[in-house]
Amino acid sequence: MSGLLGVRLLLLWGCACLWLSSSASGALVISRHDEAIQERRGAARSLQKRSTNEVMVEVHSVTVDCTVTSRFAHTVMTSKAFNKANSSQEIFFEVELPKTAFITNFSMEIEGQVYVGEVKEKEKAKKQYEKAVSSGQTAGLVKASGRKMEKFSVSVNIAAESNVTFVLTYEELLQRKLGRYELLTRVKPKTLVQDFQIVTNIYEPQGISYVDAHATFLSNELLPLVEKTVTDRKAHISFSPTMEQQRKCPGCDGTLIDGDFIVSYDVKREKNLGDIQIVNGYFVHFFAPELPKLPKNVVFVIDISGSMSGRKMEQTREAMLAILQQVHEDDHFAIILFDSVIETWKDSLTKATKENITEAMDYIRRMSSRGTTNINDAVLTAVNMLVKDRQMERLPDRSADMIILLTDGMPNEGESNTGKIQENMRTAIGGNMSLYCLGFGNDVDYSFLDVMSKQNKGLARRIFEASDAAAQLQGFYDEVASPLLLEVDMHYPDNAVDSLTTSHFSYLFNGTEIVVAGHLMDNDLDNFLVEVVGQGLEEDFRVQGQVSAADWDVFYPDEEYIFGDFTERLWAYLTIQQLLDKSKSGTPDEKANTTAKALDMSLQYSFVTPLTSMVVTKPETEDSTSSPLIADKLTEEQRQQAEKMTYNYIPAQSYPRHYQPAPTYFVDGDPHFMIELPDRGDALCFNINDKPGTIFNLVRDSNSGILVNGEIIGDKKTPPDGKINTYFWRFGIVHQTLGVRLEVSTEDISLFQDGKWVKLLWSDAASIKGSNVDLLVTKDRSLTVTLRDSVKFVILLHKVWKKHPYHRDYLGFYTLDSHLLSPGVHGLLGQFYHGINYEVAHLHPGKVPEKPDATMYVKGQELNVTRGWQRDFRNDVKNGENVPCWFIHNNGTGLIDGHVRDYIVSGLFKSV
């Protein structure tokens, strides 16, 4: 996509069928090289004077069809477009899919001719299509995109008055996490679509316990369009708005459909043996019993080296304080801090009494960053502590031992050879405990941590350096905080099954699920006895039972075909994933054997994995011959490297249960406007410069009667550098429907409601609860304004030293719950409340080395933008928190609708 020369129109859509912390999205991109395409919005008339050109590519349909059969998800994405122009045009197809999914098919139909991608061994594909290989890398159709996604993209030249249909298929086994499965569809159309449809069908013979469907963009008008039909074993969810229902405002081309459409569900679990499905000679066993929780013994090993200074340390401290409050009273825990020196809170693990938790929290509050990184000795200290406490019988017999390591860098103190460190850990742990490795940021050697954790009954997780890092850490702990069973073995008759996936599991955690699949040697189930054993809370767990095949024709009599070979493909998917994991460790021969098996199966089942590529040959045109492109599957190391190279700030995805991030829009400082977009892990910012006394419209929603204006004030006098800073010092807020008028200045707060004025002072902690508005004043700090059944605003007071020679007190304005405003909302901030579509490419050095420049494609224009930082003062009104953002120059020109002068109004409560 970065190679586009002209401006572009994006039609974003997509679907992902995945577990809780994944996400996906997609796009159909139409590129016009001969004329600029601009979006019309439902704004003030003065902003609609911009010229627009007719879009010559008509999007007939965008459909996402997802079928889930016993947790195995089969997703088909289809886009159809028509070139209305009298000349050929390049059309781009983009889809973002979960990085854990395997692409299985891609095709293009052009003028009745179908072009189908072919899965080949990666090395053979490279050699066969050398022209598609550049600098040792494939001309990839797949790129890293966010924490949990990767972007598939392809373009094709379409003749005048011709149609093109793109179809992409991918498959994935849903993983149960925190007690549910989740299917997430990210939809971000930049334009209206004639036939827009998302359909999800869930078939669970085990029985469906609940289904929930919601979306971040659903208004009261769109909510009834989500159709949900749930029976005992089937759920059908669809969302299909008409063009008029998609429209952001009457007569405009903007679309309301912008955000995440989420379906979550779980299944019934009535027996401890679990559920077994048998179809076409393959079986799959799902095991997730309801059992009492085991106590755990956890040692937190925390990197406090110099690279953890600043925000990383603050977030680690914040996460640890929250985690410690969740440690169960039956658990034991310890804390080890390390840089070049190893520091233990106590010499042994401590029971999680209230007194010990309080003491540990005080210890965490005092931790600070300092020297270099000695990972080897820090983890060995944790291992020895657990071993000693076991020998001294200080820990419960039936309890889980685990070490959670958090580090952001490479070992550079003590033992620095990563292979030697892995060997040391494997020897010391000896299979007697689990090691979980959390790699913080992009400088960590993730491959080293990944292998070391897998060698020691654990797993690795990347913690992305973003504003939600503390939530990521806490979210990971939530996943492993409640073990139910230890050393779980799934037994099946040797003479009845073969080709079994992994059947031994060190732990079963609450809210998760064990999945085992295999091939039946014959269809005689008389001797198919299944047994599950493990170590429970008070005694060994053992359950066994005879398997009987479910009659799918009885369960689903009206369904002629429900992805009939899903058990075999589920088995193949799971086997390949496990082989790829095993290929990272072991002897050279073991690695070679598992890699060869994974490759053979990837080719047999047409899965695009890290060992295979999909070759897509584009059709010949008048201007070019047929040109092959290669779609690869990225490894985590490749994704990490791509993020380093592209300054890809990663979106927030791993949150505590039921937590969903929301965009934040604010103006603060000199004055700096910020649009934070957590779904992209990104932010946009711009400054507005004008003379003191100017009043700007920030929010205007004529449908709900809400108006927010702000007046700027300048420094007391011109500073030595000659630059006069301006700030907002006064805001006027009106809700005409509710009869509310509020004036907020750096001096006081005045509310007009029910025919009378009420005045509050910043120097008092006060609150007003009215029928239509609530006010809460935090002394000399903030004012929270909550309008009934509507938006919430927070205004921060920045107090400056009274005798400061230049600066004055000023205000910051923050919007919460902006999605509750109507689609027609506008203003300098309001126009972004329902999202903004943009792309950033062509990163290159800027004037300041640490602030690179790039090209932004937004609203049919190409802007030069700079990577920089602005401060969010919500949590720290004095110092603020640095937030990375793309800075748009010249008063936001090109990003905001029209010109900044269009937003100047004549009075604090005036709309013009």
Q: Which residue has the tokens 């009104």?
A: 877
Q: Confidence band (pLDDT; 50, 70, 90) for 633?
A: confident
Q: Report how far residue 543's alpha carbon sits from residue 533's, in angstroms, rounded to the nearest whole number.
A: 7
Q: Confidence band (pLDDT; 50, 70, 90) for 445?
A: confident
Asked whether residue 658 carries a pLDDT value surpassing 60, the answer given is no
Give the pLDDT confidence of 490-510 residue by residue, as tens digits: 999 888 888 999 999 999 999
| pLDDT attached to residue 721 | 66
Asked whether residue 79 carries a pLDDT value surpassing 50, the answer given is yes
Strand partners, 680: none
Concatenating the DSSP letter of every residue in 326-346 gives: HS-TT-EEEEEEESSSEEESS
Greater confidence, 740 or 681? 740
Rounded mean pLDDT of 577-590?
86
Strands (E), 779-860: 782-787, 792-798, 810-816, 838-848, 851-858
Looking at residue 458, the DSSP 8-state letter turns out to be: -
Q: Report how far residue 197's alpha carbon sits from residue 218's, in angstroms, rounded to the nearest whole number.
A: 15
Q: Which amino acid is at 399?
A: S
| pLDDT attached to residue 435 | 96
Q: Report how far residue 613's alpha carbon sits from residue 629's, in angstroms, rounded to the nearest whole number.
A: 10
Q: Confidence band (pLDDT; 50, 70, 90) for 561?
A: low
| pLDDT attached to residue 31 | 34
Strand partners, 400: 296
pTM score of the predicted model:
0.67
| pLDDT attached to residue 627 | 61
Greater confidence, 669 or 138? 669
Asked whether residue 779 carries a pLDDT value surpassing 90, the answer given is no
Strand partners, 505: 488
Rounded mean pLDDT of 257-277?
86
Rounded mean pLDDT of 44-54?
34
Concatenating the DSSP letter of every residue in 88-154 gives: -EEEEEEEEEETTSEEEEEEEEETTEEEE-EEEEHHHHHHHTGGGEETTEE-BSEEEETTTEEEEEE
Q: Which amino acid is at 724?
A: I
Asked whether residue 102 carries a pLDDT value surpassing 80, the answer given is yes
Q: Confidence band (pLDDT; 50, 70, 90) for 132?
A: very low
Asked whether residue 365 carries a pLDDT value surpassing 50, the answer given is yes
Give the pLDDT confidence of 175-222 residue by residue, as tens digits: 999 899 998 877 777 678 889 999 999 999 989 999 999 887 887 778
Q: Confidence band (pLDDT; 50, 70, 90) for 616?
A: confident
Q: Report how far residue 909's alpha carbon sits from residue 752's, in angstroms, rounded to the nearest whole number.
A: 12
Rounded mean pLDDT of 474-498?
89
Asked whether residue 553 carries a pLDDT value surpassing 50, the answer given is yes
Of the CA atoms within 13 Å of residue 162, those in its CB half-sphere come to 18
Question: pLDDT averaged over the chain?
Answer: 82
Percent over 70 (pLDDT), the chain: 86
Q: Confidence band (pLDDT; 50, 70, 90) for 28?
A: very low
Asked whether residue 488 carries a pLDDT value surpassing 90, the answer given is yes
Rounded mean pLDDT of 755-765?
85
Q: Confidence band (pLDDT; 50, 70, 90) for 662?
A: low
For residues 142 and 633, the answer to whether their CB atoms sit within 8 Å is yes
| pLDDT attached to residue 599 | 94
| pLDDT attached to residue 621 | 60
| pLDDT attached to residue 626 | 58
Domains of the chain with bracketed CATH: 57-267 (2.60.40), 275-291+485-605 (no CATH), 300-385+400-477 (3.40.50.410), 664-892 (no CATH)
Asked whether residue 140 carries a pLDDT value surpassing 90, the answer given is no
For residues 435 and 456, the answer to whether their CB atoms sit within 8 Å is yes
| pLDDT attached to residue 613 | 87
Q: Confidence band (pLDDT; 50, 70, 90) for 521?
A: confident
| pLDDT attached to residue 653 | 34
Asked whether residue 624 carries a pLDDT value surpassing 60, the answer given is no
User: What's the distance, Cα to Cα, between the start and end of the chain in Å?
Assistant: 40
| pLDDT attached to residue 176 | 93
Greater confidence, 38 or 660? 660
Rounded mean pLDDT of 256-265?
84
Rounded mean pLDDT of 75-98?
85
Q: Report how far residue 530's alpha carbon sits from residue 810's, in angstroms, rounded to the nearest whole number.
A: 70
Rounded mean pLDDT of 717-736?
84
Lowest-confidence range among 79-88, 155-164, 363-372, 845-854?
A: 845-854
Sequence-ordered alpha helix ranges (H) in 481-587? 552-555, 566-582
Rounded mean pLDDT of 738-750?
92
Of the CA atoms within 13 Å of residue 18, those in its CB half-sphere come to 24
| pLDDT attached to residue 123 | 81
Greater confidence, 366 or 561? 366
| pLDDT attached to residue 648 | 37
Asked whether residue 378 carries a pLDDT value surpassing 90, the answer given is yes
| pLDDT attached to residue 190 | 67
Greater confidence, 650 or 453? 453
Looking at residue 576, the DSSP 8-state letter turns out to be: H
| pLDDT attached to residue 623 | 55
| pLDDT attached to residue 869 | 82
Asked whether residue 156 carries a pLDDT value surpassing 90, the answer given is no
Choose among 681, 620, 678: nearest CA to 646: 681
